[in-house]
Amino acid sequence: MTQLQRRKIPDAAIARLPIYLQILNNLAATNVLRFSSDELAALAGVNAAKVRKDLSYLGSYGTRGVGYEVTYLTHQIKRELGLMREWNVVVVGAGNLGCALAKFDGFLSRGFPVVAIVDNDPKKIGRTTSSLTVGDVSDLKNIVRDEKISIGVITTSSSASQAAVDALVEAGITSILNFAPVVLSTPSSVSVRNVDLGVELQILSYFEQMRFETGSKSENAPQLNSAGAR
């Protein structure tokens, strides 16, 4: 049985679309109307051919000899990424990181309002952190339904993270952003994205060490193409 297959855009290209989008927002803010693949490439720090190929996956929205229109292309990228609507977010884990993210402007401004924060610690439940009251994780199912939440962000300790995932899955959440440094087990129907802040530093450490070993004379620092692995 053939799956209704959406036009398939390569993963690597999908991962760059948000970056282009951000640059287009900046261009729009400075009243730029059009841009060429060369210009966007320079701003994004990539090759112009890559930009053209990435944008071509969206459709043929450029004009030969002229370039691309900022507003039109912004619209197309947002459509592709599913950003034509807002997605409500719940933060699980009301520690320092969780509270910081609940207030984090970068979520709301990109269309991801944090509408709830929960914890399992009775001492934290009921506290208020910037207009949100910490809820009980055992109410998650109701909260997700009532607040129409689509995405869960896990900021618990490592040891509590598996329980947090289970609660989110049980509540019907299918997209999870995980900050706990653990490989979580989930049904394959759930999308998980891990952001391990410790790992980010460890990768920097690798290059910092290389700088020591090679005598740090080199003008070009080695650079990892910003890939976390699965």
Partner DNA sequence: TGTTGTGAACGCTTTCACAGCT
Partner DNA sequence: AGCTGTGAAAGCGTTCACAACA
Among positions 46-75, residues that touch DNA (CB under 7 A) are 46-50, 52-53, 55-56, 60-68
Q: Does 33 bind DNA (CB under 7 A)?
A: no
Stretch that binds DNA, among 33-41, 84-92, 145-153, 195-203 (CB under 7 A): 33-41
| Residue 32 exposure: Cα atoms within 13 Å on the Cβ side | 19
Select from 199, 194, 169 the least CA-distant residue to 183. Answer: 194
**Other residues' Cβ atoms within 10 Å of the Cβ of residue 158:** 10
# chain residues binding DNA, by CB under 7 A: 28
Within 173-192, which residues bind DNA (CB under 7 A)? none
- Residue 168 CA to residue 194 CA, distance in Å, equals 15
Question: Tokens in use for 33?
Answer: 């109307």
Q: Does 150 bind DNA (CB under 7 A)?
A: no
- Residue 108 CA to residue 88 CA, distance in Å, equals 9
Stretch that binds DNA, among 30-38, 169-177, 183-191, 207-215 (CB under 7 A): 30-38
Q: Does 42 bind DNA (CB under 7 A)?
A: no
Q: Does 11 bind DNA (CB under 7 A)?
A: yes
**Phi first, then psi: what are they for 78, rounded to 5°?**
-60, -40
- Residue 7 CA to residue 58 CA, distance in Å, equals 9
Rounded least distance, CB 133 to a second copy, Å:
17
Q: Which does 63 bind (CB under 5 to 8 A by kind): DNA, a second copy, none?
A: DNA
Q: Are 176 and 200 in contact (CB under 8 A)?
A: no
Q: Which amino acid is at 183?
A: V
Q: Which does 28 bind (CB under 5 to 8 A by kind): a second copy, DNA, none?
A: none
Rounded least distance, CB 108 to a second copy, Å:
9
Residue 38 or 170 with smaller CB distance to DNA:
38
For residue 119, the cross-strand partners are 136
Question: Which parts of this chain interact with DNA (CB under 7 A)?
Answer: 10-13, 35-38, 46-50, 52-53, 55-56, 60-68, 225, 229
